[in-house]
Amino acid sequence: MKDLAGRTAFVTGGANGVGLGLARTLLAEGCKVAIADIREDAIEEALKLLENQHVIGVKLDVSSREGFAEAAARVERDLGPVSLLFNNAGVNLFQTIDDSSYDDWDWLLGVNLHGVINGIATFVPGMKARGEGGHVCNTASMAAFLGSGVPGIYNTTKFAVRGLSESLRYSLAPHGIGVSMLCPGLVKTHIYASDEIRPDALRAGAKPVNTAFVGQLEQVHQAGMEPEVIAQRTIDAIKDNRFHVFSHPEFRDELAEVFAEILGEFREYPADPGLDRRLAIEVGRRARYKEAREAARVPMRG
């Protein structure tokens, strides 16, 4: 998709960080942009910064299917059909899985995974029906590849977004709709203060906010990559119809090391009964998987 001009883009988590960077970059490409965010004050500040007649703000809790439907109706009425979808909203909780409550799970899954699902279910059917192509970009993270004890639930959601995105890429390619997955590292953003927007209904079992730790995280994130840099690298990837958007090249060697460790876990075993039949089945699956990967690399419409 080489030309984005004139298309309508919907960006969740659009009032700060990567989302705001995407909004700026998309506007510069000639797009009409809707920034969706849960914080009305942040939306107002973002709109002041953008100062463009082709941008609107929409308050949205991405975990709400009803909220998505209402937002879509307004945006498509005011800006036209959405053909560029950026499922970017995300929150984090810096604690281990075994030290987390059900409400901790419901909060992060609701935003980081269900938010992506809701965006796809809301906008993709229309993209397919119109037959004019489009692109979906889901923000995952390097945490979709690099697991750690903390943040456990965040890792879980981002690994899920990774699998969802790859599967979606293959199913949408025949419709001329591309799918990319953005995997940033450290970003200059406010995700360290996620607890500020945690719903009151999902605070059961929540641990008290460690303000000193949050302050440390703020300093760390100030050293993060500028959102506009990430946004431009993302748009470049979309134009080339690339799936993986690795905005932070400093992770390449570490990822190679991790993949090498994974491959190193394979063992040579003596042939088991039924191996030949199983391998014959796998030949067909491998061929179909390769065919899907190749088909998804074809340039999308636009």
The residues annotated as belonging to the active site are 154
Whether 290 contacts 170, CB under 8 Å: no
Q: Do residues 96 and 149 lie in contact, with contact meaning Cβ atoms separated by under 8 Å?
A: yes
81 prior amide bond cis, ω within 30: no
